[in-house]
Structures are given as C-alpha cells and as structure tokens.
Amino acid sequence: MLVALGAIFGFFGSLVPELIKLWKAKEDRKHELAIMDKQMAAQQAGITGRLDEIGINADVQDMANVYQQAQAGIPDTGIKWVDAALEIINALVRPTITYIYFGLYLTVKYANYQIMKVQQTLNWKEAVLANWTDFDGAMLAAILGFWFGNRMIQKYIKMGK
C-alpha cells in the first residue's frame, strides 16, 4: 500500500512543477496585459492632453491675430482729417455701445425701482435691495471682467513680445 501511495504521489508530484509553471505563465500573461492596458491608457491620455494643448495654442494664436488686426486699424486714406476721424470713431465703438447699454440698463432699473416703490409700498432702501438681483451682480462682474480683463490681456501680450 505504501508503495502504491508513493507511486501515485510520485506521478502527481512530477506534474506539480509543470502545473506551477503553467499557472505562473498564465499570471505573467495576465500581468503583461494589465501593463499594456495601462500603457495604452497613458498614451491615450497623452494624446488627449496634446490635443488640448494644440487647441489652447490655436485659441491663443487666434486672439493674437485678432489683436494684431485691431492694432493694424483702418487703412490710411491719405486725407489727415478723415484718417483722424476714422481712428476716433474706431476707438469709440466699444465704449459707446457700453455707455448706451448702461444708460438703457439704468433706465430700466430706475423704472423698476419706481414701480416697486409705488405698487409694493416699499421705502427706498427696500426697493433698491429688491431691485438688485443675482443677474445684476453677474452683469456687473461680466462688464468689469471684460474691461479690466482686456487690459490684463493687453499687458500680457505686450510683455510676451
């Protein structure tokens, strides 16, 4: 009986190293596939990052082109007073639109203030506070950001040259 058990263990014992080798090879392949998946994901992220970088560079170049066109101004006509008038008109377009819009905005806000005061019988402090909304704060932030942010962009562009 002991001889039979020894033979059986001997036979199966010789298979154990081969089974361990197969199991180890399977685990190695699984590990290699996991590494390859991670490398592919990293490459994909690198490609995406590079595409983002290319897009940002294109946006910066577009802004630089816009400022370059704006600085080029209106071509000279050869008549000094016409050129001066065109430069003044060109320089005043954005501020004039801003002032017109701001005047219209103040008019609407004042009318709303008067309506609140009369119809809702609010005192002037309550009417002013009720008249100021989140939209007003966002509009103020957008206008200030546009005008002062534009100055910062101009400084940055000048420093880069």
Say how many Å lie between the first and final Cα of the chain, rounded: 95
* Residues 116 and 127 sit within 8 Å (Cβ to Cβ): yes
Where do the domains of the chain lie? 1-72, 79-161
Q: Grade residue 1 by pLDDT with cuts at 50, 70 and 90.
A: low
Q: Who wins on pLDDT, 93 or 4? A: 93
The arithmetic mean of pLDDT across residues 48-57, rounded, is 75
| pLDDT value for 71 | 62
Write the CB contacts of 51 (distance below 8 Å, at least 6 apart in sequence). none
Question: Considering the chain, what is the average pLDDT of its residues?
Answer: 75
Displacement of CA 20 from its chain's centroid (Å): 54
Cβ of 69: how many Cβ atoms within 10 Å?
Answer: 9
Highest mean pLDDT among 7-21, 27-41, 97-111, 133-147: 97-111
pLDDT above 70 (res 18): no
The mean pLDDT value for 93-100 works out to 85
What is 77-97 written as a DSSP string?
-S-HHHHHHHHHHHHHHHHHH
Measured CA to CA in angstroms, residue 22 lies from 18, 35, 129 at distances of 6, 20, 78
Asked if residue 101 lies in contact with residue 108, where contact means CB atoms within 8 angstroms, the answer is: no
| pLDDT, tens digit, 9 for 90 and up, residues 56-77 | 777 777 777 776 766 666 677 7
The predicted-structure confidence for 107-144, as pLDDT tens digits, reads as follows: 988 998 888 888 888 888 888 888 888 888 888 888 77
Closest CA to 158 of 62, 27, 68, 91: 68
At 158, the amino acid letter reads K
